[in-house]
Structure 1
Amino acid sequence: MKKNYAKEKIKNGGAALGVISNTSDPLIAEFCGYGGLDYYMIDCEHGAININQVQDIVRACEVANITPMARIRSTDPKLILQFMDAGVMGVMMPGVSEASEIEALVAAMKYPPMGNRGLGPVRAWEFGLGKMPQVEYVQFANEQTLVLPQIEDIKAVENLEALCKVPGLDGFIIGPRDLAMSMGFYDGPAHDEVKKTIDHIFEVVLAHGLIIGTTAATGEQAKVLIDKGAKIIMNYVGGMLGQAIKAFTAP
């Protein structure tokens, strides 16, 4: 298992910059790694990506020294196990609003005693053929993985204090568009009430010593969020490509 570069950067006081991508092409992950990003989020919620393709993307990430993570649409431990065994080093779980959902996610991602993830001679452990003995690997894997539920619903905000107290949790990623829709704003998150709610999320999560992250479309937006305390900043790879196309084709 490789080191989690994104988690290491955060521990050292920095902010991890990355993208979320719903494409199954591993080359995109390599581009992002060689371009200097810290992590690559494989979007298996909105993307048609199967586990074999996930393995190929993880391999590409390892080659380019970018941390592979995934957004997975279920707390089913059997599904999460496949992603973890493939070498994914962090999971972003969408639509979480109850502490029990985070507890299930931690249990599925972590080996005992932190969770109940099953152990096998899988690629995340170099098929048991590498230099790392089992005891060392189990501890290392538990340390390196990132547990990142997504706050996308006002119900999660109402339960936030309880959510923050779940053992094994690393932090939260805010999904501003879905959060805004759950609050009755269907044209985006650029409303004062939504902004105040996001500020409240930052305040509570940071007070618990947890990681807070969200999305940014530009470097300027990312800087503002980092100054507020965000440690994970995410852009959409399609949006970045779209911006580049518009800039290139502008008169």
Structure 2
Amino acid sequence: MKQSNRVIAAMQEGRVAYGFNLIFPSPHVVEILGMLDFDFVWLDGEHGPFTLENIEDICRTAESVGLTTIARVPDVNASTILRFLDRGVQGIYGPHIATREDAQKLVNACYFGPRGERSFGANRGTDYWHDIPDLKAYYQNCNDNMLVGALLEDQGSIDNIDEILAVDGIDYFGIGPNDFSQGIGFPGEPSHPEVERATQELTDRIRGAGRRMVTDVLESEWITNILIDGGRRVLERRRG
């Protein structure tokens, strides 16, 4: 493992980690914003146009400026998640966690044994298997620096929340408002009173079980807003 996970370090210190959400591949943006005091860069690997090469380049750049890379993955299949981890991603956000089986599948894919079932290969996410005298200790270090989040977006997430919460190894939970509203029968209405009620119910049950919501762990801004806000300030200043 090339560096410690800054988000996990923030959690241990009892503070929120700060970052930015990247929806398109740009190591240059990561390098520039890495000059500021951000903790992480979050990649939208579910909806964004990222290739494996893009992800690896971004991880390499992020590490060079001390940022931790987190990615929302397209699905929680082990082969999908492994490709992100092998590039150097240190945090996985799994979408559409609706059952205990989904949650366990996510955990198994993210951690090496005995905690999970992550496969080991000689890639940059595992230091190309270079200078690793104790593989068991290396597995433990990787596990200690792995951040796992579960995204709740379906009716099943409500129906099965107690079983989902019983799965060990998930650091935080989030609710995707657009897919969640659609999943419970209110497509395109994330602000519908029934959606807000269900969202609050889930949040209360999660925190009531002593678990964290994503907002307890991460605070971030979309790169589009950063660019637009910055551009707007420049125009306002130049135009007087």
Q: Does TM, normalized by the shorter one, top 0.5?
A: yes
**Alignment match, 2:142:** 141
Give, in angstroms, the shift of residue 63 of structure 1: 0.9
Which amino acid counterpart does residue 18 of structure 2 have in structure 1? Answer: L
Structure 1 pair 132–36 and aligned structure 2 pair: CA distance change class (3 A)? farther
**Alignment match, 1:239:** 225
Secondary structure at the counterpart of residue 40 of structure 1 = strand
Whether the 8 Å CA contact 2:45–2:74 is kept in 1: the answer is yes
The alignment-based identity, stated in percent, is 26
Give, in angstroms, the shift of residue 117 of structure 1: 1.1
> Hey, what's the Cα distance between the residues in 1 that align with 2:75 and 2:208?
28
**Alignment match, 2:166:** 165
Which amino acid counterpart does residue 210 of structure 2 have in structure 1? Answer: G
Superposition CA RMSD, Å: 2.1
**Alignment match, 1:14:** 15
CA distances 1:195-228 after superposition (whole Å, capped 9, x unpaired): 33333232222222322115xxxxxxxxxxxxxx
Which amino acid counterpart does residue 225 of structure 2 have in structure 1? Answer: G
> Hey, what's the Cα distance between the residues in 1 that align with 2:24 and 2:109?
25
Whether the 8 Å CA contact 2:74–2:80 is kept in 1: the answer is no
**Alignment match, 1:87:** 88
**Alignment match, 1:221:** none
| Correspondences of 1:215-226 after superposition (within 5 Å) | none
**Alignment match, 1:204:** 205
**Alignment match, 2:75:** 74
Moved more, 105-114 or 203-212: 203-212
Which amino acid counterpart does residue 117 of structure 2 have in structure 1? Answer: N
Give, in angstroms, the shift of residue 185 of structure 1: 4.3
Whether the 8 Å CA contact 1:211–1:232 is kept in 2: the answer is no
Structure 1 pair 246–132 and aligned structure 2 pair: CA distance change class (3 A)? farther
Which amino acid counterpart does residue 220 of structure 2 have in structure 1? Answer: M
TM-score using structure 1 length: 0.85
Moved more, 199-208 or 240-249: 240-249
Give, in angstroms, the shift of residue 7 of structure 1: 1.2
**Alignment match, 2:40:** 39
Which amino acid counterpart does residue 205 of structure 2 have in structure 1? Answer: V
CA distances 1:118-144 after superposition (whole Å, capped 9, x unpaired): 122221232222366312210011111
> Hey, what's the Cα distance between the residues in 1 that align with 2:226 and 2:67?
18
Name stretches of at least 5 consecutive residues in structure 2 with no aligned partner.
none
Ranges of 4+ aligned residues in structure 1 off by more than 6 Å: none
Which amino acid counterpart does residue 221 of structure 2 have in structure 1? Answer: N
Give, in angstroms, the shift of residue 19 of structure 1: 2.2
CA distances 1:21-50 after superposition (whole Å, capped 9, x unpaired): 121111122233222222111111111111
Give, in angstroms, the shift of residue 103 of structure 1: 0.8
TM-score using structure 2 length: 0.88
Between Structure 1 and Structure 2, how many residues are aligned? 236
Which amino acid counterpart does residue 230 of structure 2 have in structure 1? Answer: A
CA distances 1:33-84 after superposition (whole Å, capped 9, x unpaired): 2222221111111111111111100011101111101111122212211211
Give, in angstroms, the shift of residue 182 of structure 1: 3.2
> Hey, what's the Cα distance between the residues in 1 that align with 2:143 and 2:29?
28
Whether the 8 Å CA contact 2:177–2:190 is kept in 1: the answer is yes
